[in-house]
Amino acid sequence: MRLLSCVQGLEYKIIKGDIDNDVTGVAFDSREVKPGYIFVAVKGFKVDGHDYVKKAIENGASTVIISRPIDIDYITHQAIIEVADTRVALAYIASRYYGEPTKKMNVIGITGTNGKTSISYFIKSLLDTLSAKTGVIGTMGTWIGNQKIDTPNTTPESLTLQQIASQMVEADVEYCIMEVSSHALDLHRVSFCHFDSGIFTNLTPDHLELHKDMTQYYRAKEKLFYMTEKTNIINIDDLYGKKMYDTLQEKSDVQCLSYGLKSNADVWAKDIEYTAEYSLYTAVTPQGEIPIRVNIPGEIYIYNTLAVVAWAISEGIEQKVISSGIEALKGVKGRFETVYQDNDYKVVVDFAHTEDGLEKALDTLRQFVKGRLLLVFGVYAAPGLIGLDKRTAMGKVAAQKSDFAFITSDNPKEQDPVQIIEDVVTSFKQYSKNYVTVVDRKVAIEEALESMKPGDVLLIAGKGHETSQVVGKEDIPFNEAEIVKSKMKVIRKDK
């Protein structure tokens, strides 16, 4: 592809060299550069890509895109282009280089603090019922049909995202279901993507180490709904959702459908019946009433499936397909997943890793527990006051909503796990004395299982589908379902 055509439409200044040449690829990591590539220098959280320009040129870059002055004395024939923001330029160039693939599929963007993954798998299930070809991009990796591509982020960097989208187009994917994180919106990972629909779930404190406060977090999420071309779907029972819905009514021409549990929403739920394994309800929509069975218990999955119903009716999907597609999903890995159950005990693994998620998971289980509600949890949060706020909030919810907690490690990464636990305990013990601390998460799970009495339910919260624990810089294999299964074998044999 011609370099000129990659940058056409972008505001730029040529610092040096000729830009009427061919490019063989694009990279934002000097280590990935091959002869003839464009290297886009991005300032990251640890290092600045501008410091790797020399390395990129040694590896064969023919063009370098920068946003601040660099030493160019040693550069002989390569083109140096300056732009205001290299993340924007990377997204733009990536989209053009791969032929604007998001224009060629129906792209559904899902954002909000919690519920994105679950909603994406419900939409996938519905589309599977229609035998439509789907691609999924999210926390559980990228899927093109049944082929999995591992991606380090929920929403990948723009270059990776556009490349994945072009692979999806090649594979005849009709619907690309994408979790859109606030990081992605803020860091231009999804800039120049074409979204048909956008879904907003809820906004509660998370990721404040990046966004600093809830207003900025909201501003980041909001961006998605000004990028959509067909429909916006908003949870108006959420305070931020209501604000977004009202603002969109004023400022956007795109169709907007609200959802919620009450009749003031366009799509809402009536006749809800909760059980420990599933819920039943009637979705009331502008196109009539649809009976829904959700095979994951709890109110949050009524919300998540209402979003799916709203999206499906906006697409003109038949009511029968909506019912059967939602019912066809038997569960989502690590989302309220019962990993052990017999007549006496039940153990549930859930990815609840925010104050809101933890509260909702404990509330859901509380309705059906006959004995005690036990909890194993830890908190990963950023250092400093923002991290401390999260630990304090989660400690409080855990103390108020569980009968006994095993406070342990989540993914401590490079922070001191003992200090994290101490911070959680400082908050927890103001509300309850029913806890122990166990730094080793595996030991905490095993001790919790040993302590169970008939009728008790144990919630293991925080890591959900994850299969490793990040301690220091190490990624240690860690599978909670396996730990529970093997420990329960021993416990059952002993009794």
Ligand X SMILES: CC(=O)N[C@H]1[C@@H](OP(=O)(O)OP(=O)(O)OC[C@H]2O[C@@H](n3ccc(=O)[nH]c3=O)[C@H](O)[C@@H]2O)O[C@H](CO)[C@@H](O)[C@@H]1O[C@H](C)C(=O)N[C@@H](C)C(=O)N[C@H](CCC(=O)O)C(=O)O
Residues that bind ligand X (CB under 6 A): 28-31, 42, 44-47, 49, 52, 139, 152-155, 157, 181, 183-184
Quick one: which of 87, 317, 464, 484 contacts ligand ATP (CB under 6 A)? 464
Task: Tell me the DSSP string of 340-376.
Answer: EE-SS-EEEEE---SHHHHHHHHHHHHTT-SS-EEEE
Annotated binding site: 30, 112-118, 153-155, 181, 189
What are the helix (H) ranges across 315-346?
319-328
Give the burial string for 244-281 (b: 16+ CB within 10 Å, else e): bbeebeeeeebebbbbbbeeebbbbbeeeebebebbbb
Could you say whether residue 151 binds ligand ATP (CB under 6 A)?
no
Our CB check for ligand X shows the closer of 20 and 150 to be 150
Residue 351 binding result from ligand ATP, ligand X, none, given CB thresholds of 5 to 8 Å by partner type: ligand ATP
d(CA 299, CA 356): 13
In angstroms, give the least distance from the CB of 106 to ligand X.
Answer: 22
Could you say whether residue 154 binds ligand ATP (CB under 6 A)?
yes
Location of structure tokens 């009433």: 289
In the β-sheet with 288-294, what is the strand arrangement from edge to edge? Answer: 147-149, 141-144, 134-138, 175-179, 106-111, 195-200, 228-235, 255-260, 267-274, 279-285, 288-294
Q: In a 3-state reduction of DSSP, which class is residue 98?
A: coil
Residue 145 binding result from ligand ATP, ligand X, none, given CB thresholds of 5 to 8 Å by partner type: none
Residue 175 binding result from ligand X, ligand ATP, none, given CB thresholds of 5 to 8 Å by partner type: none
Residue 272 binding result from ligand ATP, ligand X, none, given CB thresholds of 5 to 8 Å by partner type: none
Annotated binding site for ATP: 112-118
| Tokens read off for 182 | 């606030």
Q: Which of residues 297-356 bind ligand ATP (CB under 6 A)?
A: 300, 303-304, 335, 350-352, 356
Quick one: which of 17, 357, 387, 395 contacts ligand ATP (CB under 6 A)? 357
Q: Which of residues 205-244 bind ligand ATP (CB under 6 A)?
A: none
Quick one: which of 62, 155, 158, 201 contacts ligand ATP (CB under 6 A)? 201
d(CA 399, CA 382): 22
Could you say whether residue 125 binds ligand ATP (CB under 6 A)?
no
Quick one: which of 75, 80, 151, 179 contacts ligand ATP (CB under 6 A)? 179
Q: In a 3-state reduction of DSSP, which class is residue 258?
A: strand
Our CB check for ligand X shows the closer of 157 and 359 to be 157
Spell out the residues 6+ positions from residue 480 whose beta carbon is closer than 8 angstroms to its own.
339, 349, 445, 460, 463
Residue nearest to ligand X (CB): 44
In angstroms, give the least distance from the CB of 19 to ligand X.
Answer: 21
Our CB check for ligand X shows the closer of 159 and 257 to be 159
Could you say whether residue 114 binds ligand ATP (CB under 6 A)?
yes
Our CB check for ligand X shows the closer of 49 and 297 to be 49
Our CB check for ligand X shows the closer of 210 and 439 to be 210
Our CB check for ligand ATP shows the closer of 37 and 200 to be 200
Spell out the residues 6+ positions from residue 373 whose beta carbon is closer than 8 angstroms to its own.
362, 365, 366, 401, 402, 403, 456, 457, 459
In angstroms, give the least distance from the CB of 359 to ligand X.
Answer: 18
Our CB check for ligand X shows the closer of 37 and 428 to be 37
In angstroms, give the least distance from the CB of 132 to ligand ATP.
Answer: 22
| Tokens read off for 467 | 């299969």
| Tokens read off for 332 | 């989502």
Location of structure tokens 């997943």: 337
Our CB check for ligand X shows the closer of 28 and 340 to be 28
Half-sphere CA count of 200, side-chain side, radius 13 A = 33
Our CB check for ligand ATP shows the closer of 238 and 327 to be 238
Quick one: which of 25, 49, 109, 115 contacts ligand ATP (CB under 6 A)? 115
Cα angle: 395, vertex 397, 398; to 5 degrees: 65
**Do strands 141-144 and 134-138 pair parallel, antiparallel, or not at all (unpaired)?**
antiparallel
Residue 303 binding result from ligand X, ligand ATP, none, given CB thresholds of 5 to 8 Å by partner type: ligand ATP
**Do strands 373-377 and 175-179 pair parallel, antiparallel, or not at all (unpaired)?**
unpaired
Selection from 67, 70, 1 nearest residue 28 by Cα? 67
Q: Where do contacts with ligand ATP occur on this chain (CB under 6 A)?
A: 114-118, 139, 154, 179, 201-202, 300, 303-304, 335, 350-352, 356-357, 360-361, 464
